[in-house]
Amino acid sequence: MPRPAIAPPESTVNTACPLDCPDGCSLTVHLRGGRITRIDGGTDNPVTHGYICAKVRRFADRIYGDDRVLHPAIRNGAKGRGRFRRATWEEALDLIARRFRETADAHGAEAILPFCYGGSNGMLTQDFMDAVLFRRLGTSRLLRSVCAAPTGAANMGLYGKMASVVYQDYPDARLILVWGVNPGVSGIHLMPYLKDARDRGATIVVIDPRATSIARQADLYLPVRPGTDVVVALAIHRHLFEGGFADQAFLDAHTTGASALRERAQPWTFERAAAVSGVDADLIRRVADLYARTSPALVKCGWGLERNRNGGSAAAAVLALPAVGGKFGVRGGGYTMSNSASWQLTRPWLKDQEPATRVVNMNHLGRVLTGETDTPVRALFVYNCNPAVTMPDQARVLAGLEREDLFTVVFDQVLTDTALYADVLLPATTFFEHYDYSKAYGPMSLQLGRPVIEPVGESRSNNDVFAELLRRLDLARDDDPADDLDAMLASLAGMPEQIGNELRETWRATPPYDGRPIQFVDVFPLTGDGKVHLCPSHLDEEAPEGLYAFRAEPGTADYPLALISPASDRTISSTLGELSRPAIVLEINPQDALARNIEDGDEVTVFNSQGEVKLKARVTALVRPGTVSTPKGVWRRHTSSGWTSNVLVPDSLSDLGAGACFNDARVNVKKG
């Protein structure tokens, strides 16, 4: 049953954006004849107040666009060709249930792999009825490590994911290190606060291989070689310890592991760090000295620095700075990492225990689908994810998806590159057509989003569909939510009482500490003993060469350039990638271009032993020598060869969190 739209057809309605972006905007949606005519920034969220990104402004083009999946479909042609015949929901769901049952009977349910990541990132569209289904079925489990795994492991290990400094407190800082993050693109509502901080006299330092918009406005810019942040941070630690700037009283009272960190920082003089990172020793010295002497000092740690073999240690070393430097305890001092855990919400509605089935690292999708594993994957259910273009080692991922003996379900809103490989394709609603939570991970904000239009075509929400599958597989129980509305109500009932009540009444919850917690005044580490663990033994054991170790370049002489693929202003990961866009470019430094006889605008081939991608060269000094850059989230149709940067990305893992090493791709570039 399609759910009736809750908004009158001619109206202006408020909702919230749940997409995987730190900001959590409130939205105002204009409707005419029951269709969305305009999407603007809403005023409910005081931080994102009034404006939104250009991506979500264009979201109606996605909702009503040609690529929207409008009804269930069953493959009717060779794998990967995207040829389908229309099917009813009954037929499609019956087929999935039958194939799942047959697979489980013949090979065990571990032969089924659910594959999902953030999707639209809400709490209702992931780890709800989907998790109920897959837990009860006893399928393989997925390690969701494509993003935020190394930074998450570091933040958890050192601080137990203590709540972070929020955007509103940036103007109180006197010094801000913007480290491996590009807020001008990936969290735009931080930018006015950074400007405000600067106007009030704060010094801004940016550490990034590319001169991003914030780097160009910064007082100091460190064009670091990808994957080398750990040594830059350790050189700052060394200066703090050796220069007598370490806050010994704080270290004694609130930390463990300071001497281990000091020992590991010891070898990293400014000169050695400079030789490895490619950043001038004097620049590192200036930053270290500024950090030592300035308060309030703030470190904004992003995700760009984690996507390599040293990413976990880099994040740990960066996050350890305020503890060693004694920067906590004042507004505008401390660190910002993800605030996703700061509401401390659990998911009490998930009553089923996770089964002890095998865990598959999502970064290894290609090798798991193509290689020899104890229990080969025979059925794959992809939702909230577009692995054909977002996972490492694209060639193997696509080879796996092409397997004739693999039964693949893809449940998505649009005909993604992954959907082309589906045996059964299911149409999903967007967050304008179902309920979902918008939980920001930059500011502290929690809003409930609501359907503002009827589901387009025959699309259905995740909870509706997974509840249907539970029934078809005889796994449903009487107290399960029956559909999306039920699931939403169950989630509200499972929230802490005040939050649940507020969301029910105003669609928005009041964050603790007025949404502006001060670290070590209002919030403290959520580690077992309440201390900062500067060198926790479990991380030290997990990292192949120990925590804070620098592991050298993966490259060979044939592939001297580091390829990075950061967020762009066109897509959220690959979401919205179906919309038209200018040609995809490879940014290359003039020095590297000249050596290869490449001019601005040339067609170039970026290649390594895994594959090649054809792109247009943009010769620009904004990217450091030795590094080339192309946006993440590109679709196959946007390159002439049909391959995207992920064909060049190895499926090796980061030192902590078994995360993806997108920025460890080493390549060469040639004209043509």
Is the Cβ of residue 269 or residue 575 nearer to ligand SF4 in the bound state?
575
Binding site for ligand SF4 (CB under 6 A): 17, 19, 21, 23-25, 48, 52-53, 55-56, 188, 572
Among 119, 525, 650, 657, binds ligand MGD (CB under 6 A): 119
Bridge partners (DSSP) listed for residue 548? none
Site track for ligand MGD across 39-78, x = CB under 6 A = ----------------------------------------
Is the Cβ of residue 390 or residue 519 nearer to Mo ion in the bound state?
390
Both tokens of 132, joined, read 């109920």
Nearest distance, CB of residue 386 and ligand MGD, angstroms = 4
Consecutive H or E run containing 277: helix 270-277
Tally of CA atoms within 13 A in the half-sphere of 145 that contains its CB? 27
Both tokens of 36, joined, read 């969305």
CB contact at 8 A, 382 and 416: no
Residue 443 within binding range of ligand MGD, rule CB under 6 A: no
Site size for ligand MGD, by CB under 6 A? 61
Q: Which residue is nearest to Mo ion (CB)?
A: 147
CB contact at 8 A, 40 and 52: yes
Both tokens of 295, joined, read 């308060």
Is the Cβ of residue 165 or residue 572 nearer to ligand SF4 in the bound state?
572
Q: Kindly give, in sequence order, each residue whose CB lies less than 8 Å from that of residue 244, ignoring residues fewer than 6 positions away.
A: none
Is the Cβ of residue 17 or residue 385 nearer to ligand SF4 in the bound state?
17
Is the Cβ of residue 269 or residue 384 nearer to ligand MGD in the bound state?
384
Q: Which of residues 264-293 bind ligand MGD (CB under 6 A)?
A: none
Distances (CA, A) of 266 to 269, 272, 376: 7, 11, 47
Tally of CA atoms within 13 A in the half-sphere of 590 that contains its CB? 3
Nearest distance, CB of residue 314 and Mo ion, angstroms = 16
Nearest distance, CB of residue 585 and ligand SF4, angstroms = 22
CB contact at 8 A, 324 and 151: no
> Left (φ > 0), alpha (ψ -120 to 50) or beta: where does 473 sit?
alpha
Both tokens of 293, joined, read 């002497």
Give the one entry of ligand SF4, ligand MGD, Mo ion, none that residue 574 binds, where binding means its C-beta sits below a cut-off of 5 to 8 angstroms depending on kind.
Answer: ligand MGD
Nearest distance, CB of residue 193 and ligand SF4, angstroms = 14
In the block, residue with structure tokens 């350039």: 561
Instruction: Tell me which stretch binds ligand MGD (CB under 6 A): 78-86, 268-276, 560-568, 584-592.
Output: 560-568
CB contact at 8 A, 14 and 507: yes
Is the Cβ of residue 111 or residue 142 nearer to ligand MGD in the bound state?
142
Among 109, 147, 177, 649, binds Mo ion (CB under 5 A): 147
Is the Cβ of residue 118 or residue 326 nearer to Mo ion in the bound state?
118
Give the one entry of ligand SF4, Mo ion, ligand MGD, none that residue 600 binds, where binding means its C-beta sits below a cut-off of 5 to 8 angstroms depending on kind.
Answer: none
Is the Cβ of residue 147 or residue 185 nearer to Mo ion in the bound state?
147
Q: Which of residues 171-230 bind ligand MGD (CB under 6 A)?
A: 179-182, 185-186, 207-210, 212, 224, 226-227, 229
Q: Which residue is nearest to ligand MGD (CB)?
A: 304
Instruction: Tell me which stretch binds ligand MGD (CB under 6 A): 194-202, 275-283, 569-577, 589-597.
Output: 569-577
Per residue, the 3-state secondary structure of 378-443, as one string, reads CEEEEECCCHHHHCCCHHHHHHHHCCCCCEEEEEECECCCCHHHCCEEEEECCCCCCCEEEECCCC
CA angle, 634 as apex, 629 and 639 as ends, to 5°? 90
CA 346, chain centre distance (Å): 20
Bridge partners (DSSP) listed for residue 178? 206, 300
Q: Say whether 367 sits in a helix, a strand or coil.
A: helix
Give the one entry of ligand MGD, ligand SF4, Mo ion, none that residue 661 binds, where binding means its C-beta sits below a cut-off of 5 to 8 angstroms depending on kind.
Answer: none
Is the Cβ of residue 42 or residue 180 nearer to ligand MGD in the bound state?
180
Site track for ligand MGD across 121-150, x = CB under 6 A = ----x--------------------xx---
Both tokens of 30, joined, read 């204009």
Residue 386 within binding range of ligand MGD, rule CB under 6 A: yes
Distances (CA, A) of 134 to 90, 350, 470: 20, 12, 9
Give the one entry of ligand SF4, Mo ion, ligand MGD, none that residue 320 binds, where binding means its C-beta sits below a cut-off of 5 to 8 angstroms depending on kind.
Answer: none
CA–CA dist 68, 54 (Å, integer) = 20
Dihedral sign, Cα of residue 44, residue 50, residue 56, residue 61 = positive
CA–CA dist 153, 160 (Å, integer) = 9
Nearest distance, CB of residue 189 and Mo ion, angstroms = 17
Consecutive H or E run containing 142: strand 141-143
CB contact at 8 A, 13 and 453: no
CA angle, 643 as apex, 80 and 629 as ends, to 5°? 150
Site track for ligand MGD across 624-653, x = CB under 6 A = --------xx-----------xx--x----
Nearest distance, CB of residue 49 and ligand SF4, angstroms = 11
Distances (CA, A) of 79 to 178, 407, 623: 45, 10, 39
Instruction: Tell me which stretch binds ligand MGD (CB under 6 A): 76-84, 163-171, 378-386, 468-476.
Output: 378-386
Give the one entry of ligand SF4, Mo ion, ligand MGD, none that residue 663 binds, where binding means its C-beta sits below a cut-off of 5 to 8 angstroms depending on kind.
Answer: ligand MGD
Site size for Mo ion, by CB under 5 A? 1
Residue 337 within binding range of Mo ion, rule CB under 5 A: no
Nearest distance, CB of residue 58 and ligand SF4, angstroms = 10
Q: Kindly give, in sequence order, each residue whose CB lies less than 8 Å from that of residue 353, ignoring residues fewer than 6 positions away.
A: 135
Residue 535 within binding range of ligand MGD, rule CB under 6 A: no
Residue 304 within binding range of ligand MGD, rule CB under 6 A: yes
Nearest distance, CB of residue 650 and ligand SF4, angstroms = 29
CA–CA dist 336, 158 (Å, integer) = 13
Nearest distance, CB of residue 185 and ligand MGD, angstroms = 5
CB contact at 8 A, 158 and 320: yes
Consecutive H or E run containing 614: strand 611-619
Residue 336 within binding range of ligand MGD, rule CB under 6 A: no
What is the contact surface with ligand MGD in residues (CB under 6 A)?
A: 20-21, 117-120, 125, 146-147, 179-182, 185-186, 207-210, 212, 224, 226-227, 229, 302-305, 307-308, 383-387, 390, 411-414, 416, 428, 462, 564-569, 571-575, 632-633, 645-646, 649, 662-663
What is the contact surface with Mo ion in residues (CB under 5 A)?
A: 147
